[in-house]
Amino acid sequence: MSNQLFGEGVAVEIASGVIAHARRLGLTAAVGINAGEGFSLSVRNQALETLEHHRDKSLGVTVYQGFQKGSASTTDFSPESLAETLAAAARIARFAESDPYAGLIAPSHLATEIPQLDLDHPWSIAIDEATKIALACEEAARNAEREVDQVDDAGLSLYRGLHAYADTQGFVGSYIATRHGLNCTVVGRRDGAMQRGYWYSTARNAGALEDPVTLGQTASARAVAKLGARKLTTRKAPVLFEARIATGLIGHLVAAISGGNLYREASFLRDAAGTQILPSFLNIDEDPHLLRGLGSAPFDSEGAATIARRLIDQGVLTGYVLDGYSARRLKLPPTGNAGGIHNLVVSDQGADHDSLVRQMDTGLIVTDLMGFGVNLLTGDYSRGASGFWVERGAVAYPVEEITIAGTLREMFRAIVATGTDRELRSSIATGSILVAEMTIAGD
């Protein structure tokens, strides 16, 4: 992708041109443009192993003819291709089945201002310099622990992407966002048994990435800490989800209150708005305009304004996560969540991770999960896990090859505490989550 597309408003000009052509044809339409560029590399055994350059662009057109919808896309931005893409979307719409819920989002919900969220931090780094950073991470990981068997890889990535959207109701907007990352995977060995440890850092601004030496050392420490893992006998016990894993637990909550699952009646939380689903000490806020936030956006993928709100207020679900289509299906206003949620922040009670371990006294810390044993319709939850067994408030030994099980409804209600060790590498910011009791299946 050319720098011109980023710096001179070419994407907005192209989207506006397609919309102008749609208006001349008497069409109701929306145009979205996504483009980006960057690279990723990995090193192994003190040498560059892989290098991939990323450059992409696409334009999608959606046309509505009454309640009939047609969509087409192209990577060719020539005038002829854009005209044909619009025509193709219109042809598809003519033959599409009528859907009374199809259409553009109501104009009253469109963003009228585009807030500046400090999302664009290009990283002008040469391949050689980027490789040196990854090599420093690898070396630190290899030398950090005596029982490190090998460093599978250390990697660095950077990406700068643009999103533009326009429709025939008059909306046009765009923004640019960057995302950079550093990661390391380590294998530890003891008495013939091996364990893998992984750590990573992600940020809009490369200056906010974790120091590569510290990151490599952390990956090694996590691998070695798992050596000597045992199985557990089947039991019921408290479970502490490490912050990185706890984001997934909150992710299941988001999925259960998302419009698509609700109107399909495929969620155990349908009709739950206004009811208490979490303990009264918990709040969850959505903050789409958090500066440099990984989930920040000035508008959603339909042009709707993104708005800060309290999604969970003292344990009570205040609303759902809706795009325009699901909102119409549910006869509710859209919430600016076409494309997903924006920076969920889970409250805490002032205790750090170690304090939660002591509070748990005896139980399981989950640091890794396997499989996809989550049924959103029933809320049944069953996943393979590994982590650490805790006795008298201190880690006793690592554990593996176990399964943790329960129902999401009961797990949410049984949350005892959330920690201050907030995970900041995704659009869900939560500390460790302590659940009073779950079934742990083992030998």
The whole-number average pLDDT for the span 301-329 is: 98
State what percent of residues in the chain have pLDDT above 70.
Answer: 98
Q: What is the dihedral of CA 105, 106, 108, 111, to 10 degrees?
A: 20
What are the boundaries of each domain within the chain?
3-225, 235-441
Q: What is the phi/psi pair of residue 219, to 5°?
A: -60, -40
- Of 86-90, 305-309, 370-374, 407-411, the one with minimum mean pLDDT is 370-374
pLDDT 10s digits, 341-356? 999 999 999 999 999 9
Looking at residue 373, its pLDDT comes to 92
The whole-number average pLDDT for the span 389-406 is: 97
Q: Which two tokens stand for residue 68?
A: 């009939």
Q: Band the pLDDT of 443: cuts 50, 70, 90.
A: confident
pLDDT 10s digits, 204-252? 999 999 999 999 999 999 999 999 999 999 999 999 999 999 999 999 9
Cα angle 124, 125, 129 (rounded to 5 degrees) comes to 170
pLDDT surpasses 60 at 2: no
pLDDT 10s digits, 141-195? 999 999 999 999 999 999 999 999 999 999 999 999 999 999 999 999 999 999 9
Specify the pTM: 0.94
* Options 3.30.43.10, 3.30.70.260, 3.30.2290.10, 3.30.1330.10; CATH of 3-225: 3.30.2290.10
The whole-number average pLDDT for the span 264-280 is: 97
